[in-house]
A and B are shown apart, each in its own frame.
Chain A
Amino acid sequence: MIKHHPSDETLFRYANGSLESGPRIVVAVHVGACTACAERIAGFEALGGSLLHDIEPEDMEAGALDHVMAMIDTGEAGRGKAAPAQRLPRADVGIRLPEVLDDCGIGPWRWIGPGVRWSRVTLPDDDSANVMLLKVVAGRKLPEHTHAGYEYTHILKGAFSDARGRYGPGDLDEADDDVQHQPIVDKDGECICIAALEGQMKLSGFFGRLIQPLFGG
């Protein structure tokens, strides 16, 4: 049973296309597992459809249709799926990942602190997005920390709890810089999440920030 969903604002930004690519893929993972959010996005997309339908039209340049027809004729269909970018390397991370991540590169698990490992997720269309898998061992308590900006975390396996509640498989935790929390992973098993940060921080800065609380620095 999913208890924690993205906010309406986040689903709205997913629907209108203004959510950054990192958070977008994490929300897509959630939506793939949550019919309630899929419905909400469909509703917000229908808002886009009705705004499009009702908007005051503006003349296209002369010959626009002929141009599109010519592209159809020559089969010069742009950068289609016919010529896919080379497949990104995918490490085995020990769990079956959601289908929406099929085109993403998945790095091997790397140690970043006691009981905590991460794996870099590379998006095929935006290699600058900060997306990662995180794996934390059972019972591990992370030091208290705050977030610099919005952070989106979808739980793939296991669960953690903090003052705000318990987050289990299928839950999406949307934490802003007001949230100060100290998550504890359930005792009966490890927890694996996919997480993205909003903003194009340098990876090193992101790591620094992640590692810092883990080492109490």
Chain B
Amino acid sequence: MAVTIRDEGSLSAPEATRLMAAVAANRDRVAFAALFGFYAPRLKAFLKRSGMTPSAAEDVVQETMLLVWKKASYFDPARAGVSTWIFTIARNARIDRLRRESRPAVIAEAFDPSDQPDAPVSGEQAIIAVEREDRVREALDLLPREQADILKMSFFGEVTQSEIADAIGIPLGTVKSRVRLALGRLRQILDDLK
């Protein structure tokens, strides 16, 4: 079947949650196409920044979106936003692929903590989950620019800490302590959510 992809320049968190619910409950392909239209090009950019070749990134994006379809009923808006949930699926698909490349004999799926049964979520936790992505954005804005930048670079793992040190022209120890500081600040801001 031919599905046209809408150009998804933006997608709000509530809209993404609604689309996921439609995929989970009704196996809604139009909703899935809308999610694909927004997330697939962003996943591709994300995976390339994490060091994958364009064609490997393309593969992992398709694999990730297939898993989004298959695992839709596991998505729980009380635990994570759609972007965060899709990020964790892509992360695990990437780990899986890198491991398969280095150890082709092993065929089991990558360990995926999101497949583990979870304890019930309290109402309070549910509110936190919805707000978390926004709070993280605010937290990044609150961090000194150089800490936020190093945190982002480290997250993608596009470069090693010594490469960051070389690029910015500061000692490796300074990069390490900046990352540590930034993580501490981020954690503090997130802890304050509670």
Q: Which residues of A are in contact with B by a Cβ distance under 8 Å?
A: 8-9, 12, 16-18, 21, 24-25, 28, 31-32, 39-40, 42-61, 64-69, 71-73, 77-81, 84-85, 99-100, 103, 123-128
Nearest chain A CB to B4 CB, angstrom units: 9
Decide: A49 and B83 in contact? CB cutoff 8 A: yes
A-chain residues with CB within 8 Å of residue B152 when the two chains form the complex: 51
Decide: B84 and A25 in contact? CB cutoff 8 A: no
Complexed CA–CA distance, A85 and B136 (Å):
38
**Chain A interface mostly:** helix
Complexed CA–CA distance, A68 and B45 (Å):
18
Decide: A43 and B45 in contact? CB cutoff 8 A: no
Decide: B42 and A57 in contact? CB cutoff 8 A: yes
Docked complex: B25-52 residues within 8 A CB-CB of A: 29, 33, 36-37, 39-46, 48-49
Docked complex: B58-73 residues within 8 A CB-CB of A: 58, 61-63, 65-66, 69-70
The 7 closest A-B pairs by CB, nearest first: A49-B84, A57-B41, A49-B83, A43-B190, A8-B183, A46-B132, A17-B91
Beyond the given A46-B136, A53-B11, please list 9 additional residue pairs across the A-B interface where CB-CB is below 8 A. A8-B183, A17-B95, A21-B95, A25-B111, A42-B129, A49-B84, A99-B116, A103-B108, A128-B103
B-chain residues with CB within 8 Å of residue A12 when the two chains form the complex: 154-155, 183
Decide: A85 and B157 in contact? CB cutoff 8 A: no
Name the CB-closest residue of B to A126. Answer: B99
B-chain residues with CB within 8 Å of residue A78 when the two chains form the complex: 63, 66
Are A47 and B155 also in contact (CB < 8 A) when A57-B45, A59-B41, A66-B3 are?
yes
29 of the cross-chain contacts (CB-CB < 8 Å) are A9-B180, A12-B183, A21-B95, A21-B99, A21-B111, A24-B111, A28-B113, A42-B129, A42-B132, A47-B136, A47-B186, A49-B80, A49-B81, A49-B133, A50-B134, A50-B137, A51-B152, A51-B155, A53-B42, A54-B137, A57-B41, A57-B42, A65-B3, A69-B1, A71-B66, A123-B111, A125-B99, A125-B106, A125-B108
**Chain B interface mostly:** helix
Q: A9 touches which one: B33, B117, B183 (CB < 8 A)?
A: B183
Say whether B165 faces chain A, with CB atoms less than 8 Å apart. no
Decide: A43 and B136 in contact? CB cutoff 8 A: yes
Decide: A58 and B41 in contact? CB cutoff 8 A: yes
Decide: A8 and B133 in contact? CB cutoff 8 A: no
Q: B85 touches which one: A25, A40, A49 (CB < 8 A)?
A: A49
B-chain residues with CB within 8 Å of residue A126 when the two chains form the complex: 99, 103, 106
Say whether B14 faces chain A, with CB atoms less than 8 Å apart. no
Q: A64 touches which one: B40, B96, B103, B107 (CB < 8 A)?
A: B40
